[in-house]
């Protein structure tokens, strides 16, 4: 993934697109992992610190939510009482 230009409007559109994609995941684990990895690349770029603080916060929050969503020890069986939590049955 190449780094987009530093224009704040471009970054606002990129972050909005990522948020829109996040809201449309609907339990698709593979797309969640791909999105987590893409956002992970962005937050590790050297120029990430140069982004406006609100965009940094939005990207950080998305990354944290995706990391939590894609944890492999989280139960994905909707019938299990541990659904979306750590499950000893896994």
Is the pTM of the predicted complex or chain greater than 0.85?
Answer: no
Q: Please choose, from the candidates 26, 27, 21, the residue with its C-alpha nearest in 3D space to the C-alpha of residue 62.
A: 21
- Structural domain includes residue 52: yes
3-state secondary structure of 88: coil
Residue with tokens 């069986």: 77
- Structural domain includes residue 36: yes
- Structural domain includes residue 49: yes
- Confidence tier at 85 by pLDDT (50, 70, 90): confident
3-state secondary structure of 83: strand
- Structural domain includes residue 51: yes
Question: What pLDDT does 68 receive?
Answer: 84
Q: Please choose, from the candidates 28, 13, 89, the residue with its C-alpha nearest in 3D space to the C-alpha of residue 58.
A: 13
Q: What is the pLDDT of residues 2-27, one digit of tens each?
A: 455 567 788 899 999 999 999 999 87
Say whether pLDDT at 1 is over 60.
Answer: no
- Structural domain includes residue 79: no
- Confidence tier at 70 by pLDDT (50, 70, 90): confident
The boundaries of the domain holding residue 61 are 8-69
Q: Tell me what percent of the chain is helix, strand and coil, each rounded to the nearest 5.
A: 60, 5, 35
Residue with tokens 């948020």: 19
Q: What is the pLDDT of residues 40-58, one digit of tens each?
A: 999 998 888 888 999 999 9
- What's the domain count of the chain? 1
- Structural domain includes residue 20: yes
């Amino acid at each position: 993934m190449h780094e987009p230009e530093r224009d704040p409007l471009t970054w606002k559109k990129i972050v909005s697109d990522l948020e829109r994609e996040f809201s449309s995941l609907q339990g698709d684990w593979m797309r969640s992992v791909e999105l987590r990895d893409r956002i992970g690349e962005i937050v590790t770029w050297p120029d990430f610190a140069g982004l406006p603080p609100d965009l940094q916060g939005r990207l950080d929050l998305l990354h944290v939510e995706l990391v939590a969503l894609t944890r492999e020890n989280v139960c994905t069986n909707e019938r299990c009482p541990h659904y979306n939590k750590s499950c000893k049955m896994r």
